[in-house]
Amino acid sequence: MRPDQILHPTEAGLYCPPGDFYIDPVRPVPRALITHGHADHARSGHGAVMATQQTLDIMAIRYGADFTASRQPAQGVTRIGDVQVSFHPAGHILGSAQIAVMPDRGPKIVVSGDYCRAPNPVCAPYEPVPCDIFVTEATFGLPVFRHPDPLTEMTKLIASMAEFPERPHLIGAYALGKAQRVIALARQAGIDGPIAIHGALQRLCDFHVEQGIDLGPLIPATAKSVEAQLVIGPPSAFASPWVQRFDDPVIAFASGWMTVRARARQRGVELPLVISDHVDWPQVTQTILELSPQEVWITHGTEDGLMRWCELQGIASRPLRLIGYEDEPE
Give pLDDT < 50 ranges for the chain. 325
Q: Which domain-ending residue is among 273, 289, 305? A: 273
pLDDT at 322: 67
pLDDT at 72: 97
Give the CATH number for residue 160. 3.40.50
Distance CA 109, CA 124 (A): 21
Say whether both 79 and 156 belong to one domain.
no
Say whether both 284 and 243 belong to one domain.
no
Say whether both 83 and 118 belong to one domain.
yes
Say whether both 31 and 112 belong to one domain.
yes
Say whether both 21 and 128 belong to one domain.
yes
**Residue 172 lies inside a defined structural domain of this protein:** yes
Say whether both 223 and 245 belong to one domain.
yes
Say whether both 45 and 113 belong to one domain.
yes
**Residue 329 lies inside a defined structural domain of this protein:** no
**Residue 70 lies inside a defined structural domain of this protein:** yes
**Residue 324 lies inside a defined structural domain of this protein:** no
Which residue in 126, 119, 123 sits closest to 148, CA to CA?
A: 119
**Residue 328 lies inside a defined structural domain of this protein:** no
**Residue 113 lies inside a defined structural domain of this protein:** yes
pLDDT at 326: 52
179: containing domain:
150-273
Q: Any idea what the Cα angle at residue 312 is, between residues 101 and 15, rounded to 5°?
A: 20
Distance CA 97, CA 15 (A): 18
Say whether both 154 and 130 belong to one domain.
no
Tally of domains in the chain: 2
Distance CA 58, CA 95 (A): 8
- Residue 248, classified by CB atoms within 10 Å of its CB into exposed (0-12), middle (13-18) or buried (19+), is exposed
Task: Report the residue count for the chain.
Answer: 330
**Residue 325 lies inside a defined structural domain of this protein:** no
Say whether both 282 and 198 belong to one domain.
no
Distance CA 83, CA 100 (A): 10
Say whether both 20 and 100 belong to one domain.
yes
Say whether both 208 and 172 belong to one domain.
yes
Distance CA 319, CA 272 (A): 31
pLDDT at 96: 98
Give the CATH number for residue 129. 3.60.15.10
Say whether both 245 and 287 belong to one domain.
no
pLDDT at 321: 77
Residue 269 Cα to chain centre, angstroms: 22
**Residue 305 lies inside a defined structural domain of this protein:** yes
